[in-house]
Amino acid sequence: MVRTPLRLAFAVSLFALSAFAPLAPPAQAQDVDILRRSVDELAAAINDEVVAWRRDIHANPELGMQEFRTAGLVAEHLESLGIEVETGVGGTGVVGVLRGGRPGPVVALRADMDGLPVTEMADVPFASRVTTQWQGREVGVMHACGHDNHVAILMGVASVLASMRETLPGTVKFLFQPAEEGPGGAAPMIADGALEDPRPDAVFGLHVFPMPVGTVAYRTGGMLASSDALRIVVRGIQTHGAMPWAGVDPIVTASQIVVGLQSIVSRQVDLTDSPAIVTIGQIEGGNRGNIIPDTVLMIGTIRTLNPDTRTLVHERVRRLVENVAEANGAEAEVTINLGYPVTVNDPALTTRMVPSLQRVAGEGVVVMPPATGAEDFSYFAEEVPGMFIGLGVGADDPSLVHPNHSPFFYADERALPIGVRALASLTVDFLSSNPISDDR
């Protein structure tokens, strides 16, 4: 993809900022105001390129751990800005390090790069026509969750902050992550040292949602749910359907378990504190109407929005399943495979950074209700204080508004400069308000 040079506005703003380079932390209010104005000017100047990047990435989506083209595009762009780049982190991840000209803390910014095995139905000129093999069959590939926007926005943020390098009070790490949709790329990146040398003091990320353009949503504490896979095997004794007393019926037992599991949420979890969900989505057992089988398999999901609630629900699920099975003379095996943790926004960090969002989006800043979707940004936020925000990309035309993961998912590009300003502003404000000694 051909890149245009940074616009004149970048050079002008950089010249203006360089006059303040000798100032040592803490940053003065005048310095911070200049940094903030520069973010706004540079975000506007880079917008055409951000749109072009987004459309290019959207037309060329890649599944998790296969983001070779996207990672290459990102790495080339970061290198062109003079940012230190490491590729192949945690698979296909890219880490960039931008060292400011003044001492200060370290901020990490994260964007996920992968698409989904979805055939695109959205009517846009840059719609994906990519196909690939998925679980043994050919499928379409689409950025149906909007990660193309995330990558383009963070590439834009890199351009903005790199142009302010000389007066930037601290260091910025750019985390371009693979496989958020699965199998999960955050944990492998962390294991590969993405949060070390230097270690961030805070991490920020965003996700697009079909909220109205101009909306920036946040939530203190649990924002997105943990996602754990539940597998239950109920074992009875097979017998003729006309003589149920001669065996142990795992289907009746499984039915009681399904009903009982709902009482965990409705009667054993304090829903005024945080929601929880226990869903059984698959049941398999038997092959004839007149044969009671010996085994029933149930598969489901557990979602919680509080780490303590997560532990509680897991304990109660095991207890209920095993006791119901025993009461029926059956046996049950419960397996809970831990998925993504709860995405928790650090309360102190979130409260402190809300004014930065309000400066960018004004009355468009809203408190987001808890969502039961899951995000592996949660792993980064477990390591260092984190803040994850929602960016509205819903069009004014209701017929274009569809949920994430829909083949009709549509992102209004008017949201892109808001996303760039939001992440860049969070970065500048955090770095400016967290001075450290020169000998760090």
**Would you name the residues annotated as active-site residues?**
340, 413
What does 21-67 look like in DSSP terms, one character per residue?
TTPPSSPPHHHHHHHHHHHHHHHHHTHHHHHHHHHHHHHS---TT--
Distance of alpha carbon 183 from alpha carbon 181, whole angstroms: 7
- Compute and round to an integer the Cα radius of gyration of the chain: 25
Could you give the CA distance from residue 224 to residue 123 in angstroms, rounded to a whole number?
30
Q: What stretches of 224-279 show up as alpha helix (H) in DSSP?
A: 250-268
Distance between CA atoms of residues 336 and 232, nearest Å: 9
Three-state helix/strand/coil letters over 336-393: EECCCCCEEECHHHHHHHHHHHHHHHHHHEEECCCECCCCCHHHHHHHCCEEEEEEEE
The amino acid occupying position 69 is R
Nearest-angstrom CA–CA distance, 349 and 346: 5
Pairing state of beta strands 216-218 and 291-292? unpaired
Q: Which of 283, 372, 299, 305 is nearest to 336 (CA)?
A: 299
Strands 365-367 and 216-218: parallel
Q: Name which of 306, 338, 370, 80 is nearest 231 in CA terms.
A: 338
State the CB neighbour count (10 A cutoff) for residue 290: 8
437, amino acid identity: S
To 5 degrees, how large is the angle CA 116–CA 117–CA 119? 105
Helix 416-432 vs helix 347-361: crossing angle, to nearest 10 = 130
Helices and strands, number each (H, E), in the chain: 11, 18
C-alpha to C-alpha distance for 305 and 225, rounded to whole angstroms? 5
